Structure 1
Amino acid sequence: MRDVLATRLRRCRAEAGLTQGQVAIYCDITEKTYQNYELMTREPKLDILVRIAEYYQVSLDYLVGRTDRKEVCR
């Protein structure tokens, strides 16, 4: 699951055309912290993971690899 999360974080950010710094600012964390999430040297806490999913407009299940569907259930 850790590798999937790191891969999907990088993919979502690239698809959105964002920098790590931009995502970090939205999540109220440092850029280094976000870099560590993409490198999987640190795992995000749930509240940060929720913010990231909201920012990328994807589901938590997608980010952690439980599904390949990006859509958020509304």
Structure 2
Amino acid sequence: MPDINLMQTGIDMSAFSERLKMLREARGLTQSRLAEMIETLPRVYNRWERGHIVPQLESLIKLADVLQVSLDELVGRSEASKDVKIRNHTLHELWQQADSLPDEEQKALIMVIDSFVTKSMMEKVVMKSAKR
């Protein structure tokens, strides 16, 4: 008998949860960090990754954007690419140049980029809570 989640959504939840975890780990994100980036509760995200519940379409779209994959790749309708997709041309060129830097310089660059991303995410959280 087919799995009820597969029948209702067309998504094989065990394959989806494994793919979600693989994509998250490939980008070096924790469950909590990814949940924060898509503006959902960490416990809800955890239930997706364990295959207990199916994300809503809005959440799937946010996940696909953050994980830099298409919705089809995210839900397993096509193979997920291992390549990092950077849409901004200048940022893409800089990323290619940074890839050839020595490890120590790459680590420093990662720290700088992470601090900017964290700052931006915190500003979004503050703005969202200020609207309430």
Q: TM-score over 0.5 for the alignment?
A: yes
Match of 1:67 among 78, 97, 110: 78
1 or 2 for the larger relative contact order (CA 8 Å, sep ≥6)?
1
Aligned length: 73
Amino acid corresponding to residue 65 of structure 2 in structure 1: E
Structure 2: which 5+ runs fail to align? 1-11, 88-132
Once the two structures are TM-superposed, the CA of residue 34 in structure 1 deviates from its matched residue by 0.4
Shift of 1:3: 1.5
Amino acid at match of 1:66: R
The unaligned stretches of length 5 or more in structure 1 are: none
- The 3-state SS of whatever aligns with 2:77 is coil
| 1:4/1:63 contact within 8 Å kept | no
Q: 1:9, 1:38 within 8 Å by CA — same for their partners in 2?
A: yes
* Structure with bigger gyration radius: 2
Contact 1:6–1:39 (Cα < 8 Å) also in 2: yes
Identity of aligned residues (%): 33
1:49 and 2:64 matched: no
Please state whether the residue corresponding to 1:49 is helix, strand or coil. helix
